[in-house]
Amino acid sequence: MEKNYDTHRIEDQWYQTWMETGAFHSDHTQGGEPYCVMIPPPNVTGILHMGHALNNTIQDILVRWRRMEGRNVVWMPGTDHAGIATQNVVERALAKEGKTRDDLGRDAFIERVWQWREEYGGTIVRQLKRLGASCDWERERFTMDEGLSEAVAEVFVRLYNKGLIYRANYIINWCPRCHTALSDEESEHQDCVGKLYHIRYPVQGGAKGEYVVVATTRPETLLGDTAVAVHPEDARYADLDQKTIVLPILDRELRVIRDDYVDPKFGTGIVKVTPAHDPNDFEMGQRHSLEQINVMNGDGTMNEAAGPYAGMDRFACRKQILKDLEAQGLIEKIDDHHHAVGHCYRCDTVVEPRLSPQWFVKMAPLAEPALAALENGELNFVPARWNKVYTEWLSNIRDWCISRQIWWGHRIPVFTCTACQHEWAAKGCPDLCPECGAAELSQDEDVLDTWFSSWLWPFSTFGWPDQTEDLACYYPTQDLVTASEIIFFWVARMVMAGYEFMDGLPFDTVYIHGTVRDDAGKKMSKSLGNALDPLDVIKEFSADALRFSLTMLTATGQDVYISKDKFEIGRNFGTKIWNAARFIQMQCGDPPPPASQDSGVTGPDAEAEPRDVVGLPVLDPALLTADDRHLLGKLQQAVIDCSAGLEKYRFNDAAHVLYEFVWHQYCDWYVEYAKETLYGEDVARRNQVLLILHYALGTALRLLHPIMPFLTEELWHAMGYTATIDRKDPAGFIMKAPWPTPWPDQQLTDWGVDAATTEYVERKHELIRLGRTLRADFGIVPNKAIDYIVKPHDAEGATRLESDRASVAALLKAQMLTVDEAFEPPQAMPSSVGGLGTLYMPLAGLLDVEAEVARLGGQLEKVVSGINQITRKLSNRAFVERAPEAVVEQQRENQKELMEKRDKIERLIETIKG
């Protein structure tokens, strides 16, 4: 093995091999319980960002883990057509050529978008591959594919015929830049400091100069006012009921209406009503049969109805109108005002509420089963707090505006007969009117919201409306992994579609992960310029490092704060594992492995026997030391804890378990103990230790594979843990190896892995640390050989230590280590008290008595404060009486132990003082 491993070559090579061998593919003919995950389809215009990296790392962990467990796994990949975003991108490209989409015409423009997609649409998919995502790429889908388009049309026609789709003149969110309606979810509210303009509206027929004051944040909309409103019980304006108001500038006569909507405490308690430009005013207008006057064009300029302002941009108009009102003395005052303003989620333009004919889906009937799914426990969010968010939204659901005034997307399949005006929905391209048989038909010009195809993703991707065998096999899927931002956009709607069209929910668990932020807590975004490009991180650190670091740092559902140096965690860990493996291989004396022809990546010698690290290791209990047993116990615990972490979606816990086991238990302690044996003469012992080293490494590699797929696959082969020499044989892939399971208790008992041994080794570690600290405290360089004496506290410790002397001596770099239960220091010497015994470090020359007393005094202080705490508890009668027996007993034991330790330290101090 090479001293440093070439991450990029290895990662590229393994991904290619996995792809070539179809390792990610499965279908209904494969055995095993199905396990299916639907990728949240990224936008085809998208570029991989850290959010994607986290999202897909988590999915890949789940998928690779379940695959190793023997499940029949499909991870369905694909992209969505991102109607508005993609159209924007292509329009921008056209603009550079000095053209608009209208110059091309609808068909040519769509052709152009497809071209763009062919050329650039694969970017994010390639990036996901760099990350190591084990998607079933043979199944890759696109929401504009023929099959998915058919599903969209099928669904539209069904809902239309059921009466759940309707067209209405309604106030929608209009993006004046994209020239299209947006759904409520696509209009993002941002807090803005605006102005609240208080404007005087003269009263008709009142005293001269009588006026009322209305407050508005959008003065330009007053041109569309058709009434003013007050609260029905607001006595202040009782005299207004018989009067009318004059709209400034246009001199339109306005009715005074009374409506509950008006908050008498806000502003002056009187509001202007603009039914065509405000959702609340629209509803008031409905209730009072008010005229709707649209004063704006689709591009945000004022139209003819705006009179003198026709043709001006809405914001220019606002300025001018204020100027004009000011000139007429009609501005009462202008206050600063904080409010939330809708912005287009694609282009960040201020959204304009606008009256226009749009298509809607009636959501209430669809929401019912989706709500029930949560209540009856069929559906679960992890973490559970998202249950409430989902429930709230569904309980107050509003109809979904699904029409978009753009060209790129699924065209609304509604046709109108020119002859008889019959309107109907149909799949495909009907030739004749079903009513009158005329051939002159027109199709609705609008296209559907992109999410109208995404909400069908869990079944349309398997060929629905055809009842395919794969659909029957994999639907419903199991886990959905996504971010909270799209619970409304996507998750809830998929559940609704599942019940409506598949008679059942599309997945049972929704894991919601946090948002990736920069280390200042800002959401990472391209426009803020704080984005870390995952591809750069992969280049600098490796995909494995990116994945491990993200996993380790992301606590369940919490936001994760990232900066570049965080990825050192994963890189360093990878290096550590590589070197541990390299060390073991060096001990085996295997001839240097030959470079394979194509990749130059090294593998095991063709002559070498494969090493089985999957089956039960054949260990001779008579040859096992306490350290061996301790490690086996720790390995067992790591297997249990790692699986438990994954089961509970606590990926950071799983990562921590593996990090702690590999780095600290395996490398820091076991490998160091092992060196004594490996460099020694006892061949039987040596083989035993090598077997454990290999076995533990092999098991750790399998546990790590879902998080760090590349490094583990490479080492699996380089270490010869596969039965096949051929690196392209899937049977030899770690990704196909079985997931480690705990040994039966009896096995551990047979090996002598028990609590007493584990505790002994923990205490031995403590003793070694004490010895090293003594060294450090007395300025003795680490490699200077010195003597130590241990005085064990009891006979059992004495026996264990005596037979284990060599291992302690080695790790203490001791020239001689004496175990002596009766030891009494002939002179004052540095010492420390541990759980196993008292450790002495004889020093040549005189000891600084005062300094040593102070040092031991420090230790004593800690112990005494511990005793005080426990004693306080135990002397509390209520505690002893009411706390569980086991807890009290534990405290008593701790107290006893600490007191013994205190006594020993005190005696040491006495001795030294002489």
Residues 739-768 that bind RNA (CB under 7 A): 768
Nearest approach in angstroms of CB 355 to RNA is 17
217: number of CA atoms within 13 Å, CB side?
13
Give the one residue of 125, 361, 863, 905 binding RNA; rule: CB under 7 A: 863
State the Cα–Cα distance between residues 79 and 46, nearest whole angstrom.
9
Is residue 787 classed exposed, middle or buried when 0-12, 13-18 and 19+ CB atoms within 10 A define those classes? Answer: middle
| Among positions 572, 596, 602, 818, the unique one binding RNA when judged by CB under 7 A | 572
Tokens representing 785 are: 């050989």
The CB-side HSE value for 750 (13 A sphere, CA atoms) comes to 10
Q: Which stretch binds RNA (CB under 7 A): 47-55, 289-297, 402-410, 559-567?
A: 559-567
3-state secondary structure 133-199: CCCCHHHCEECCCHHHHHHHHHHHHHHHHCCCEEEEEEEEEEECCCCEEECHHHEEEEEEEEEEEEE
Binding of RNA by 8 (CB under 7 A):
no
Give 185 or 225: the residue with its C-beta nearer to RNA. 185
Q: In angstroms, rounded to a whole number, what is the distance separating the alpha carbons of residues 637 and 639?
A: 5
List 668, 750, 762, 794, residue binding RNA (CB under 7 A): 668
> What is d(CA 141, CA 194) in angstroms, rounded to the nearest whole number?
44
Cα–Cα dist 438/431, whole Å: 8
Q: According to CB under 7 A, which residues from 621 to 650 bind RNA?
A: 648, 650
User: In which element (H, E) is residue 53 found?
Assistant: helix 50-68
Q: Which of 419, 866, 899, 900 binds RNA (CB under 7 A)?
A: 866
Judged by CB under 7 A, which of 32, 600, 887, 910 binds RNA?
887
Q: Which of 115, 442, 749, 890 binds RNA (CB under 7 A)?
A: 890
CB of 104 or CB of 864, closer to RNA: 864
Side by side, the strands of the sheet bearing 414-417 are: 423-425, 414-417, 441-443
153 or 487: whose CB is closer to RNA? 487
Residue 256 vs residues 79, 367, 700: alpha-carbon distances, Å: 52, 38, 77
Question: Does 3 interact with RNA (rule: CB under 7 A)?
Answer: yes
- Residue 783, interface with RNA (CB under 7 A)? yes
User: Contact between 449 and RNA (CB under 7 A)?
Assistant: no
The answer to whether 618 contacts RNA (rule: CB under 7 A) is no
Q: Which residue, 384 or 436, is less far from RNA as judged by CB? A: 384
d(CA 899, CA 902): 5
Based on the shown chain and the rule CB under 7 A, indicate whether residue 289 belongs to the binding site for RNA.
Answer: no
Among residues 196 and 555, whose Cβ is nearest to RNA? Answer: 555
Task: Assess 217 for contact with RNA (CB under 7 A).
Answer: no
281 binds RNA (CB under 7 A): no
Looking at 8-16, 55-63, 104-112, 670-678, which segment touches RNA (CB under 7 A)?
670-678
571 binding RNA? (CB under 7 A): yes
Helix, strand, or coil here: 83?
helix
What's the one-letter identity of residue 739? W
Asked if residue 504 binds RNA (CB under 7 A), the reply is: no
Residue with smaller CB distance to RNA, 293 or 908: 908
Q: How far is the CB of 360 from RNA (least distance, A)?
A: 15
Report, in Å, the least distance between residue 302 CB and RNA: 26
* Phi and psi angles of residue 790, each rounded to the nearest 5 degrees, phi first: -110, 135
The answer to whether 468 contacts RNA (rule: CB under 7 A) is no
> 259 is written with which tokens?
């409506």
Q: Is 283 in the site for RNA (CB under 7 A)?
A: no
Please name the residue ranges forming H helices in 752-876: 755-777, 795-803, 805-811, 849-874
Residue 265 in contact with RNA, rule: CB under 7 A: no
- Does residue 879 touch RNA according to CB under 7 A? yes
Query: Applying CB under 7 A, which of residues 164, 334, 667, 847 lies at the interface with RNA?
Result: 667
Q: Residue 86 Cβ, how far from RNA at the closest point, in Å?
A: 22
Shortest distance (Å) from residue 93 CB to RNA: 30
Let me know: does 721 contact 610? Beta carbons within 8 Å: yes
- Interface with RNA includes 586 (CB under 7 A)? yes
Q: Which two tokens stand for residue 847?
A: 């000891």
Residues of span 160-189 touching RNA by CB under 7 A: 184-185, 188-189
Which helix (H) or strand (E) is 389 found in, with range? helix 386-395
548 lines the binding site for RNA (CB under 7 A):
no
Q: 235 vs 878, which CB is nearer to RNA?
A: 878
Q: Contact at 8 Å (CB) between 404 and 181? A: yes
The DSSP secondary structure of 403-469, one letter per residue, reads EESSSSSPBP-EEEETTT--EEE-SS---S-TTT--S-EEE-S-EE-THHHHTTHHHHTTTTTS--H
Among the listed residues 114, 120, 166, 663, the single contact to RNA using CB under 7 A: 663
Q: How far is CA 475 from the centre of its chain?
A: 23
- Nearest 5°: phi and psi at 180? -150, 160
Q: Name which of residues 83 to 142 contact RNA (CB under 7 A).
A: none
DSSP tally for the chain: helices H, then strands E: 30, 29
- Under the binding rule (CB under 7 A), the answer on residue 324 touching RNA is no
Q: How far apart are CA 661 and CA 642, in angstroms?
A: 10
Beta strand 253-258 with 831-833 is: unpaired
Among 397, 373, 404, CA closest to 387 = 373
Can you tell me the distance from the alpha carbon of 421 to that of 433, in angstroms, rounded to the nearest whole number? 9
Nearest to 705 by CA among 729, 671, 740: 740
Our CB check for RNA shows the closer of 447 and 584 to be 584
Cβ(146)–Cβ(81) below 8 Å: no
Interaction of residue 681 with RNA, rule CB under 7 A: no
SS3 at position 688: helix
884 forms part of the interface with RNA (CB under 7 A): yes
Q: Which element (helix H / strand E) includes 729?
A: none
Name which of 184 and 533 has its Cβ closer to RNA. Answer: 184
- Does 698 sit near RNA (CB under 7 A)? no
Residue 414 touching RNA (CB under 7 A): no
- Residue in the structure block whose two tokens are 């420090």: 858
- Closer to RNA by CB, 324 or 672: give it: 672
Q: Least separation, in Å, of the C-beta of 462 and RNA?
A: 30
* Of the residues 157, 305, 608, 883, which one makes contact with RNA according to CB under 7 A: 883
- Applying CB under 7 A, does 689 fall inside the site for RNA? no
CB closer to RNA, 514 vs 752: 514
- Taking the least distance from each CB to RNA, the nearer of 110 and 366 is 366
Segment interacting with RNA (CB under 7 A) among 448-456, 492-500, 693-701, 883-891: 883-891
Q: What is 232-277 written as a DSSP string?
A: TT-GGGGGGTT-EEE-TTT--EEEEEE-TTS-TTSTTSEEEE-TTT
Residue 528 in the binding site for RNA (CB under 7 A): no
The alpha helices in 625-732, defined as continuous H runs, are: 626-647, 651-659, 672-678, 683-704, 709-718
If one asks whether residue 654 binds RNA (CB under 7 A), the answer comes out as no
Considering only residues 330 through 389, tell me which ones interact with RNA, judged by CB under 7 A. Answer: 340, 385, 388-389
Tell me which of 131, 379, 580, 860 binds RNA, using CB under 7 A. 580
Q: Residues binding RNA: what is the number (CB under 7 A)?
A: 78
If binding is defined by CB under 7 A, does position 870 make contact with RNA?
yes
Contacts of 890 by beta carbon, 8 Å cutoff, 6+ apart: none
By beta-carbon proximity to RNA, the closer residue of 208 and 338 is 338
Residue 474 CB, shortest distance to RNA, in Å, is: 30
For 6, residues 6+ apart whose C-beta sits below 8 A from its C-beta are: none
Q: Binding RNA by CB under 7 A: which of 521, 529, 591, 826?
A: 521
Q: Which is nearer to RNA, 162 or 862 (CB)?
A: 862
Taking CB under 7 A as the criterion, the residue among 574, 698, 797, 834 binding RNA is: 574
Using the minimum distance from each CB to RNA, give the nearer residue, 89 or 215: 215
